[in-house]
Amino acid sequence: MLDLARHLRGALAAPCLICATVPTTAVICRACRRDFLPRTRPRCPRCAAPLPRPAAACGPCLQEDPPFDATLTLGDYAPPLDGVLLALKFGHHLALARALGQLLGQRARVCKGSGALVTAVPLAFERQAERGFNQALEVARAAAARLRLPLASDLLVRVRHAPPQEGLTRQQRQRNVRGAFAVHRSCRGLHVLVVDDVMTSGATLAEVARTLKAAGAARVTNLVVARTP
């Protein structure tokens, strides 16, 4: 039986999608999980922006308190994470969503506790129809399972479909997503973990947090796969 199990694992193994050399059944090999997710880089606890040294918050978060309470990320939107996310979104490698979600859930294990749940930033209707899936929701499924927390996949809904955020200034991004989300039910007293694939200016996640807080959420933590440096 042990020989059969080893044979099946070997048959199911495929090259790691990051290094493309080590066969693995976990999509991303153990060495790449260790190497491309460094924990030593200081980040702002509120928005996960890279910092030169540990601090209570970055300059922008000190100047303007964001509506979300914390942000956790796997790393910068740079190689190899950017390529992994592109493969997920445009290559339809949904196994990557499960691997990234598990890693994100492991990173966010400090968020476990009563009154916590996981949700995802809704994708614009046009992109959902074109792509056939919401990559943030697929990552959220695995993160929720890893954290053993309920997944509220329908908690948030887009009520206004804004143009893409690419190429806009920070102020334009904020205006672009204002009033774009609604909450289906009360979040009173809940700690909501919001999953997204990439955080750039934080405008979308700020609007999501603002909407959740208005519905009674006690705390909002962003769980993002990658943060733009």
Lowest mean pLDDT among 2-11, 55-64, 130-139: 2-11
The domains of the chain are located at 1-35, 42-227
Instruction: Report the predicted TM-score, pTM, of the whole model to 2 decimal places.
Output: 0.87
* Amino acid letter for position 50: P
pLDDT at 127: 76
pLDDT at 21 over 90: no
User: Contact 183/210 with Cβ under 8 angstroms?
Assistant: no
**Whether pLDDT at 8 is above 60:** no
Task: Give the separation between CA 95 and CA 160, rounded to whole angstroms.
Answer: 30
DSSP state at residue 221: E
* Residue 38 preceded by cis peptide, ω within 30: no
Structural class in CATH, domain 42-227: alpha beta
Q: Average pLDDT of 32-52?
A: 83
* Lowest-confidence region among 8-17, 98-107, 136-145: 8-17
Place of tokens 């939107």: 77
Mean of pLDDT values over 173-197: 88
Q: Which residues contact 98 (CB under 8 A, 6 or more apart)?
A: 27, 138, 141, 142
- pLDDT at residue 142, as a whole number: 96
What pLDDT digit, counting tens, does each position of 76-123 carry? 999 888 989 998 988 888 889 999 999 999 889 878 777 999 999 998
How far is the C-alpha of 139 from the C-alpha of 200, rounded, in Å? Answer: 18
Residues 6+ apart with CB under 8 A from 171: none
Min mean pLDDT across 16-20, 98-102, 131-135 is at: 16-20
Q: Which tokens hold the place of 142? A: 């695995």
